[in-house]
Amino acid sequence: MTSTELEYRIKEIIVDALQLVDVQPETIPTDAPLFGAGLGLDSIDALELASALERNFMVTFSETDPEMRDAFRSVAGLAAFVAKQRVDVPKGAQGPLP
């Protein structure tokens, strides 16, 4: 999966998991903030999104990980985090990739 494909898949997960009926994945800017003035997500959305990403990519988010804050800043940050964790997945292990 290329980085562009990963970013688009994360956008689809954001729309689906958070039930953003008025948002299309392609309208979410890759580098725009996900919280506050950006997409307007809140802390509950962050928990739901983390859970959806864990299920889809077999990654783990930890509150104590200092990279979490940066990862959740944007789609690009989430994609970089997911890509980094997937590199660390043992050979033969597979996630439910589309």
Walk along the chain (98 residues) in steps of 10 and give the mean pLDDT of each run: 94 96 95 90 94 93 86 96 74 48
* pLDDT of amino acid 25: 97
Whether residue 8 contacts residue 15, with contact meaning beta carbons closer than 8 Å, is answered with no
Q: Compute the distance between CA of residue 31 and CA of residue 10 in angstroms, rounded to an integer.
A: 13
Per CATH, domain 3-87 is 3.20.20.10: no
* pLDDT of amino acid 6: 96
The whole-model pTM stands at 0.84
* pLDDT of amino acid 85: 86
* pLDDT of amino acid 98: 45
Residue 18, SS3?
Answer: coil
